[in-house]
Structure 1
Amino acid sequence: MVVTLIDNVNIMSMDPSQTDNGVLRQTQLWIQDDKILAVGSAGAYSPVPDHRIDAGGKWALPGFIDCHTHLVYGGSRADEFRQRLSGTRYQDIARAGGGIQKTVRDTRTAAPQNLLQHSLRRTRRLVEEGVTTIEVKSGYGLDEQTELTMLNVAEQLGVYLPVTVMRTYLGAHTLPHQYKDNADGYIDFVCNTMIPKIATGEHASAVDVFCETMGFTAAQTERVFQAARSAGLAIKLHAEQLSDSKGAVLAARYQACSVDHIEYLDPNDVPALAEAGCVAVLLPGAFYYLKETQCPPVSALRQHNVPMAVASDHNPGTSPICSLLTCATMACIEFGLTCEEALLGITAYAAQALKLPDKGRLLAGLDADICLWDIEEPADLIYEMNGFRPYCRWVGGRYVD
């Protein structure tokens, strides 16, 4: 048993039940092995700490959680970025064989070591900024071998870097070339071959679908949900990014842990998310890169107390951003979140979106994923874009310099 005492520390625990996100000043934070032992005084127990750290008034926050990423892929789509700057629409690039299909081709031909090398570079940047948990999706293989390779590479990120990795199978990302004009046949493959293999081999804990006019229909999405539920996998959904396809309502019926993007979500559908306990994951990076103008219905989400998470959505085409804090700032500027909402969105609510109840908050008994920041107040992290890195970190109770 190893006990660490962080003394003379300011804490924002990110407890959503507290009006100030759980601010405590000039207090103590106790760590025992991989868990938080106590916030404030340890009380009658008061063990003699093995390590004592004077924080000097610095701020302790939970490690950040990036709950929606596509970090593992091959190739680059910088050429498409230049095309969009010249006025070509994302949908037109995709129809011409670019977009996700280009990344699928590049990922299928990339060596696993190459995928790992480039994914580590991107993930390392997130980790340097205070991210201690990430979700990584597959979806750029669309065949059995490449999808499994992507998920294996994602797992290795947590071996090489101090970060917890949650993996999601996104086989229903787009229609692969070999299933052209046979979308239902591809969904058969996803449901009958891949999902049982994913579940049996524990390659991922969740399944995601791109339900959209240029993705999969609500009926096809529901088939994937049914297969995921039968296999015991959690459900997530790319919903209402480019149009109102009613995917979010469908996801709510299946108690999805999150619906992501939701720029075109009908405010009248928000109560269904609240009733189902779904987290709304906002992805301002894609909104920014695609020059979208339709914002998520943040006011309705607030009104119905739907938790709002914020994620980087790092991907090669529409959000090549390796900074979760930048996306948190974007969520405030583009979508109207407060600094406090944005911080909750990359901690407590991001943990809820991944069904990780022991992460995202600094409370006794939870995981000791902690970042110490040399800032005047937590809002500085949102206000000053790309201005700070953690002074030090603990990941699973282990000190990371």
Structure 2
Amino acid sequence: RWITPALIDCHTHIVFGGDRAAEFEQRLQGVSYQDIARAGGGILSTVRATRDATAEELFRAALPRVQALAREGVATIEIKSGYGLDLETEIRMLEVARRLGTETSMDVRTTLLAAHTVPPEYAGNADGYIDLICNELLPQVAERKLADAVDAYCESIAFSTAQIAKLFAAAIKLGLPVKLHADQLSDGGGAELAAEFKALSADHLEYTSRKGVRALAASKSVAVLLPGAFLTLGETHVPPVGELRANGVPIAVATDCNPGTSPICSLRTAMMLACRLFRLTPEESLAGATRIAAQALGLADDRGTLEVGKRADIAIWNISHPRELAYWTGTPQLAELLAGGQTSAP
């Protein structure tokens, strides 16, 4: 047997309404994402389903996903909002995420991702939507302590660097750290923007330039790799892992669990995919799902390693070497999980 820190999934969208299984089948048949979106599908279909769902329905749908991660040795997860895109639903999503943290053994960190995409009510007026977030949503979320961080999606199909800079300045003024979906589909300067605001993390990074990598290194931001989305979207442009390593940028791995681009509730699978698709070593993938994942959530002083004084999140495995955690897929090697010092038998 081996003992490791409990795993940490530092990037999920695990609270949402409905699913997108029909779109998955359509895409296998050759229908483009653009055609699906024009027909009313894509992320906005999840927005509609999430807006229509009650808090109880969202909780009951998310609970099995959280439990699945716990059975794999995960004791801490981050959960983002971002499928409401209005004041009421974004707050409801964060409240559900907080409830998942109080009614399960999982420690949940919440992130406001209202700047996920432009809602239909603000079509053609992204600036107006950013103003709504900054002036109305952020103050409510901060006052009620519903979020531990603020995130945004920096792409031409979502929000510009200037719009996100305005949002991040407002978040930091309220005492909330930031993180960023950056350079997933193109090099839009997302890594540099994340570095400018000393983001906890910059996530995806498939198209990040050398300049962006150097900026992340200088800011000490974590690079969070999301191989599940890379696989699901059929991407071929691999994140610059070699450059990240060479520049000393810490690399984390997460599931990106979401209904559209990464329907994966298995951090162990994400670890394996990071090795197979991005050429991480098994040791790097384990560090990326423990020590560095904690850093990506601003929790490095509290968890992610086995040290006196840190939170007692401990996983005990039926394995002969830690590399097996990224080698086996779909095989339950967890013998016992301690979450906050409390035993949780799988």
TM-score with structure 1 length normalisation? 0.84
Evaluate the alpha carbon distance shift between residue 384 and residue 75 of structure 1 in structure 2; reply closer, same or farther with a 3 A threshold.
same
Instruction: Find the aligned partners of 2:39 and 2:223 in 1 and give their Cα distance.
Output: 32
Counterpart of 2:248 in structure 1 is 305
DSSP-derived class of the 2:208 partner: coil
Instruction: Find the aligned partners of 1:287 and 1:381 in 2 and give their Cα distance.
Output: 21
Q: CA deviation at 1:94?
A: 3.0
**1:68-111 CA distances to partner (integer Å, 9 max, x unpaired)?**
00000001111111121122333443344321110000000011
DSSP-derived class of the 1:391 partner: strand
Alignment of 1:1-400 (within 5 A): 58-357=1-300, 358-400=302-344
Q: CA deviation at 1:66?
A: 0.2
Q: CA deviation at 1:204?
A: 0.2
Instruction: Find the aligned partners of 2:75 and 2:286 in 1 and give their Cα distance.
Output: 14
Instruction: Find the aligned partners of 2:256 and 2:113 in 1 and give their Cα distance.
Output: 13
Aligned length: 344
Report if aligned partners of 2:294, 2:303 keep a CA contact under 8 Å in 1: yes
DSSP-derived class of the 2:334 partner: coil
CA RMSD of aligned residues (A): 1.0
Q: CA deviation at 1:267?
A: 2.3
Report if aligned partners of 2:168, 2:197 keep a CA contact under 8 Å in 1: yes
Instruction: Find the aligned partners of 1:201 and 1:95 in 2 and give their Cα distance.
Output: 37
Evaluate the alpha carbon distance shift between residue 382 and residue 270 of structure 1 in structure 2; reply closer, same or farther with a 3 A threshold.
same
Structure number with the higher helix fraction is 2
DSSP-derived class of the 2:178 partner: strand
Instruction: Find the aligned partners of 1:284 and 1:95 in 2 and give their Cα distance.
Output: 26
Amino acid paired to 1:370: I
**1:238-269 CA distances to partner (integer Å, 9 max, x unpaired)?**
00011111011011010000000000111232
Instruction: Find the aligned partners of 1:259 and 1:289 in 2 and give their Cα distance.
Output: 20
Between the aligned residues of both structures, percent identity stands at: 53
**1:274-326 CA distances to partner (integer Å, 9 max, x unpaired)?**
11000000000000000000000000000001000000000000000010000
Amino acid paired to 1:89: S
Instruction: Find the aligned partners of 2:77 and 2:308 in 1 and give their Cα distance.
Output: 22
Structure 1 moving runs of 4+ over 6 Å = none
Instruction: Find the aligned partners of 2:205 and 2:31 in 1 and give their Cα distance.
Output: 23
Instruction: Find the aligned partners of 1:259 and 1:126 in 2 and give their Cα distance.
Output: 23
Counterpart of 1:27 in structure 2 is none
Which sits farther off after the overlay, 383-392 or 272-281? 383-392
Report if aligned partners of 1:90, 1:290 keep a CA contact under 8 Å in 2: no
DSSP-derived class of the 1:207 partner: strand
Q: CA deviation at 1:392?
A: 0.9
Amino acid paired to 1:90: Y
Q: CA deviation at 1:389?
A: 3.6
Instruction: Find the aligned partners of 1:327 and 1:152 in 2 and give their Cα distance.
Output: 27
Instruction: Find the aligned partners of 2:78 and 2:205 in 1 and give their Cα distance.
Output: 19
Report if aligned partners of 1:128, 1:389 keep a CA contact under 8 Å in 2: no
Amino acid paired to 2:203: D
Evaluate the alpha carbon distance shift between residue 379 and residue 116 of structure 1 in structure 2; reply closer, same or farther with a 3 A threshold.
same
Q: CA deviation at 1:160?
A: 2.4
Report if aligned partners of 2:192, 2:211 keep a CA contact under 8 Å in 1: no
Instruction: Find the aligned partners of 1:90 and 1:345 in 2 and give their Cα distance.
Output: 30
Amino acid paired to 1:313: D
Instruction: Find the aligned partners of 1:108 and 1:345 in 2 and give their Cα distance.
Output: 33
Amino acid paired to 1:379: R
